[in-house]
Amino acid sequence: MKSARSDDESELMEAPADINEAEAKIASSTPRKRHKFEVWWDEKLKELKEYKSLHGDCSVPIMSEQYGKLGKWCENQRFSFNKGKLAQDRIDRLREAGFVFEGNIPRSPEKRFPSYDKLRMSHIDELKEFIQEFGHANVPPTYSINPQLGKWVENTRGKHNRGELPDDRVNELAEAGFNFETPLTPDKYHSYAYDHRWDERFKELMDYKNEHGDFKVRPSHNYALNKWIENQKQSYRKGRLSEERTARLEGVGFSFAKAVKQPKSSENVTQPDEIAG
């Protein structure tokens, strides 16, 4: 049997509803405590506006020591927008600030990529030197003399094939003699790599001659170069050295004749009579 409730008990049961309604009114008039991520987002938007006031647009570079973090944040906003995950109020605030979500983002390398541009121009100068020395622009990815140049050429060719290089950059590279063709296949590259190593050894040989006046490289001085010289002589005697390489070596005064061994002095040779006696 249910017990009857008093009037006081009924009032107590209804009290929480009145209290909740009062709390809701207070909450609506009290500013909501903002999440730290929201504060951080607003700070980045402020940085973006400051950037625009200095540079005239919101195309913040990622590869920049000064603006790299802001540039990455901008890329994240663009990515979230393309995925439909960016809140509308943030889209509106970014558009109001001049942020561009769609299309090619205008960039000025000379203006906002000083360190990157300096490195690129340095690689272009190195490429020109490579072409002048070897007569072609096929810098191997594993170019031992300058690994950074080989890697840069490979990456730049890949960007061109994917259509990621602007026209002015393509024209600049073409004027420098850059090779945009498809990279060498493994078999052709193996042959090219061997040719490249031969060219490096030949240059090393010429450096030695310029310093010492001859081609008599001792193993103790440069074992690898001494071994290479012996290999060229053996290939020549067996008819395996190409005419082009033979001509290049003979053209600088290289001799394929065997080195004449000097006989030991008679003073150092033990005579039979001495052994018997």
Whether 208 has a pLDDT exceeding 90, the answer reads yes
pTM: 0.35
Q: How far apart are CA 127 and CA 258, in angstroms?
A: 39
Q: How far is CA 45 from the centre of its chain?
A: 30
| Residue carrying the six token digits 């909450």 | 27
Looking at residue 45, its pLDDT comes to 95
Write out the two tokens for 203.
């240059």
- How high is the pLDDT of residue 211? 92
More confident residue, 109 or 253: 253
Query: Is pLDDT above 90 for 134?
Result: no
Band of residue 213 on the pLDDT scale cut at 50, 70, 90: very high
Give percent helix, percent strand, percent coil of the chain, each to the nearest 5: 65, 0, 35
pLDDT in tens, 22-75: 444 544 455 556 678 889 999 999 999 998 888 788 888 777 667 888 988 998
Residue 162 or 9, more confident: 162
Tell me how far apart the alpha carbons of residues 117 and 61 are, in angstroms, rounded to a whole number. Answer: 12
State in Å, rounded, how far the first CA of the chain is from the last one.
141
Looking at residue 110, its pLDDT comes to 41
Number of Cβ within a 10 Å radius of residue 217 = 21
Confidence of residue 261 (pLDDT cuts 50, 70, 90): low
